[in-house]
Chains A and B, each alone.
Chain A
Amino acid sequence: MSGADAPTALVGFAHALRHAGVACGPDRVRAFTAALDHLDVARAADVYWAGRVTLCAEPDDLPRYDAAFAAWFGGGDRLPASRPRARTRTASHLAALGGGEGRGGRAPALRVAASDVETLRRKDIAAMSPAEREHLRRLVAELRPVPPRRRAVRARPARRGAVDPDRVLRRMVATREAVPAYRRRTTRPRRVVLLVDVSGSMKPYADALLRFAHVVARAMPVEVCTLGTRLTRVTRQLRHRDPGLALAAAARAVPDADGGTRLGETLKAFLDRWGQRGAARGAVVVLCSDGWERGDTALLAEQAARLARLAHRVLWVNPHAGHDGYRPVQSGIAAALPHLDRLLAGHSLDTLHALLEEVRRA
């Protein structure tokens, strides 16, 4: 890289990086080139670090950055290879999940009679036709979740409550009279954590559940992760306003949709990387899974206990729990059951409504 080609090469690199899923906008690229003004462009390590501190914004970006850097500039051997667990991007499995065919040639009926909506609300998502799924997507997008609330540290002036010394003094400065003033603690939305199983056995429900997660994420502070053979955090991806774009971004990020489930291991990964530091502390945690555990159930039980100690409430949503004659005997759910606050159904729009209500009251 030399002379006049340098800026072009750098911008090209940033472009490749964006393609790899690192959200580096023009201002970050500008910061990158500005940073290189202060460093030695001929030194690979300088270019590497300048790019890493200006173009990346979170640890998930780092493996992508390393891979893109090695691919673009080559000869990564002199570089400080930061993380061994480079994650490769795979094609969008999720877009195809849960019957994406509805978007194709067959346009769904524009208006559906009220009675049809009523039927649709109760119908098992797994048994829906493509047109019904398309309709369901719109209904899910119209949900209006209300966040659960917790008491905050901050206080607001109130008519009754504890004496507010600041305001009493303020009034005394203003009027030179001691007039009592009161304050009361406010409430804030409580954090909600959604853990969505995207393994093969959950395939019919994954799309609807992620769309549900998207709607919830737009209404309250939420962390969303997918569980499969590994854990993937999709909170950032679901931050897109448009559900289609958000789901596509999430699909790009999830490398293991449609595979097996190792609930214990992925739950542990979540608690290690996010939960224990704060994401699960005092939160309402909703775990959406059918409870088919391919791994060690003792590990799952241990992690569920750990989750229960951290979280405010732990809800398990199981698509099969709404079916007649369902018994929680699947290896995973049986292991986790003693540590759950509620086991809920999650196979239809109605049950998702009930879930929202349960979360609001948590």
Chain B
Amino acid sequence: MTPVEPAAPPEPATPDDLAAALDRVGYLPDDGVATAAFLALRMRRPLFCEGEPGTGKTSLAAALATALGLPLLRLQCHEGIDATQALYDWDFPRQLLHLRALEAAGAVDAEAAEASLHTRRFLLARPLLQALERAPCVLLVDEVDRADDEFEALLLEVLSENAVTIPELGRIAADTPPLVVLTSNRTRDVHDALKRRCLYHWLEHPDLTREVAILRRALPDVTERLATRVATAVRALRDLDLLKPPGVAESLDWARALLALGRTDLDTATAAATLGAVLKYREDTRRALASGVLDRVAGSAVAG
């Protein structure tokens, strides 16, 4: 497993450089994101990202990997995640087969047979260990708030030491620490000990011009006019006090849906018919339709 890695571009010298590099790979950062990511890179500290769903926390890690020419490793956290899923595990079936093979070959030295079981070839590297072995790379620890607090202690050890100690094998350390991006949706508070080691960044929804730019960048077929309509409508929906305000991912879905229908502008009837791409609760749909936001936004579309 030795992928041919492209020559990494030089490390950005200022936040603006990094912003330009991210821009080139299709991620349009604001000043805050660029500065936070730049500092994470320079200070070799993990970046802890929080924000409303759909503000681009996870895609930031992917964009950083592409922009910096580094491989991306992703660890999705969930309840009950433990070291065998995050760090490493022994490959028991293969160890067993190996043992049977030794028996069949008539090997008699029990000690040697046992020692041969705990070697690197039987070790399954999970994302954290992979990140240490493959560094420099970008490690995304996604939705860390879903994991239990015991897992945070494990993470703490890996992030502060940039090394793992495997009792049977010894210490595996990274030469250059990976660039770590942690994301959280704030379903619970992550422990201060973990946050203290990180830079903290709260992501906001993009402003109108940035959102239009994001839409146009991601979907080249979308006209300026349609992108502006969609972004304006989504912003109006965000102000409506909904159960789940739409994020950028929903704007993109909406624009895609309208493209699929061959629309170049947003009219009230189409907007109402495609609302399912943006709003995922019945209460929200009802509120949006009752508020007349669609009429306002799409109505101005006809006039303008």
Q: Is the CB of A152 within 8 A of B80?
A: yes
Contacts of B36 in A (CB 8 A): 49, 53
Q: Nearest-CB distance from B40 to chain A (Å)?
A: 8
User: A172 CA to B42 CA in the complex, in Å?
Assistant: 49
Is B185 at the interface (CB under 8 A from chain A)?
A: yes
Q: Is the CB of A62 within 8 A of B202?
A: yes
Is A160 at the interface (CB under 8 A from chain B)?
A: no
Q: Is the CB of B96 within 8 A of A279?
A: no
Residue among B14, B30, B80, B200 with the highest chain A CB neighbour number at 10 A: B200
Q: Is the CB of A154 within 8 A of B80?
A: yes
Contacts of B96 in A (CB 8 A): 169, 172-173
Interface hits, A176-230 → B, CB 8 Å: 176, 188, 191, 221, 223
Q: Nearest-CB distance from B79 to chain A (Å)?
A: 5
Which of B125-133, B187-195, B292-300 is near enough to bind chain A? B187-195
User: A146 CA to B196 CA in the complex, in Å?
Assistant: 30
Contacts of B204 in A (CB 8 A): 82
Q: Nearest-CB distance from A23 to chain B (Å)?
A: 8
Q: Nearest-CB distance from A282 to chain B (Å)?
A: 11
Q: Nearest-CB distance from A52 to chain B (Å)?
A: 7
The bracket for how many chain A residues form the interface is 35 or more
Is A281 at the interface (CB under 8 A from chain B)?
A: yes
Residue interface bits A20-43, CB-to-B below 8 A is 1, else 0: 000101011001001100111000
Is A95 at the interface (CB under 8 A from chain B)?
A: no
Given contacts A39-B15, A173-B95, A173-B99, contact A54 B199 (CB under 8 A): yes
Q: Nearest-CB distance from A354 to chain B (Å)?
A: 28
Q: Nearest-CB distance from B118 to chain A (Å)?
A: 10
Q: Can you name the residue of chain B whose Cβ is closest to the Cβ of A59?
A: B202
Q: Can you name the residue of chain B whose Cβ is closest to the Cβ of A186?
A: B80
Q: Can you name the residue of chain A whose Cβ is closest to the Cβ of B100?
A: A176
Is B120 at the interface (CB under 8 A from chain A)?
A: no
Q: Is the CB of B50 within 8 A of A59?
A: yes
Is B211 at the interface (CB under 8 A from chain A)?
A: no
Contacts of A31 in B (CB 8 A): 43, 45, 199
User: A153 CA to B151 CA in the complex, in Å?
Assistant: 14
Given contacts A166-B92, A221-B188, A278-B187, contact A38 B31 (CB under 8 A): no
Q: Is the CB of B186 within 8 A of A49?
A: no
User: A276 CA to B185 CA in the complex, in Å?
Assistant: 11
Is A327 at the interface (CB under 8 A from chain B)?
A: no
7 nearest A-B pairs in the assembled complex, by CB-CB distance = A278-B187, A153-B80, A49-B35, A169-B92, A53-B199, A154-B80, A38-B42
